[in-house]
Amino acid sequence: MLSERLEEALNRQINAELYSAYLYLSMEAYFRSVNLEGFARWMRAQALEEMTHADRFAKYISNRQGRVVLDGIARPPVDWDSPRDVFEKVLEHERKVTALIFDLVALAEKEKDYSTGSMLQWFVNEQVEEEATAEGILGQLKLVGDNGNGLLMIDRELGTRVFAPEPPAGR
């Protein structure tokens, strides 16, 4: 059974994951508005991935006889200056999510909830991948600068991403 503090913290993380999805959907809309369909497709896949993360937390809470409590989702930004600006915000956001996951790990350790600590290791590893991916795309965007051809090449590459959900955890 989850402690009250850990249950509340995991529910806040569900909200953070859903906000992440909301943010990436907003970024998808931005990219569609500037005719960068590959970037938009990448953001859609990212949003779907974040929703599966929220679901993973919800299932875990339920499996530990906790109660999932959903909260309101804040409105994300809707305008950015450029694709580079978007990915600077993506990296900044993923670093915030990493800090939230680390806080959960610390709380699980403090509460001596080793099951939750074990479950959170998947998210620790996931955040390493999320930050590295954002850094890689941002690096490419810095390299091409204002070169339209380079931007279109990145757009084409990002458009190949297909969302593939992870197998459900704990089921």
Task: Flag whether 167 is in a domain.
Answer: no
Runs of H (alpha helix) within the chain: 4-33, 37-63, 83-110, 114-144, 148-158
How many domains, the chain? 1
CA distance 73 to 34: 26
Task: Flag whether 163 is in a domain.
Answer: no
Task: Flag whether 170 is in a domain.
Answer: no
Tokens matching residue 105? 């790990």
Task: Answer for the pair 115, 64: CB distance below 8 angstroms, yes or no.
Answer: yes
**What DSSP state is assigned to residue 111?**
T
The residue type of 11 is N
Task: Flag whether 149 is in a domain.
Answer: yes
The residue segments making up the domain with residue 55 are 4-158
Task: Flag whether 165 is in a domain.
Answer: no
Q: Which among 30, 120, 133 has a CA at the least distance from the CA of 91?
A: 133
What's the CATH number where 50 sits? 1.20.1260.10
Task: Flag whether 168 is in a domain.
Answer: no
169 pLDDT band, cuts 50/70/90, is low
Mean pLDDT of the chain: 96
Task: Flag whether 67 is in a domain.
Answer: yes
The residue type of 129 is E
Tokens matching residue 112? 């001596």
Task: Flag whether 171 is in a domain.
Answer: no
Interval 13-59: pLDDT, tens: 999 999 999 999 999 999 999 999 999 999 999 999 999 999 999 99
Burial class (CB in 10 A: 0-12, 13-18, 19+), 104: buried
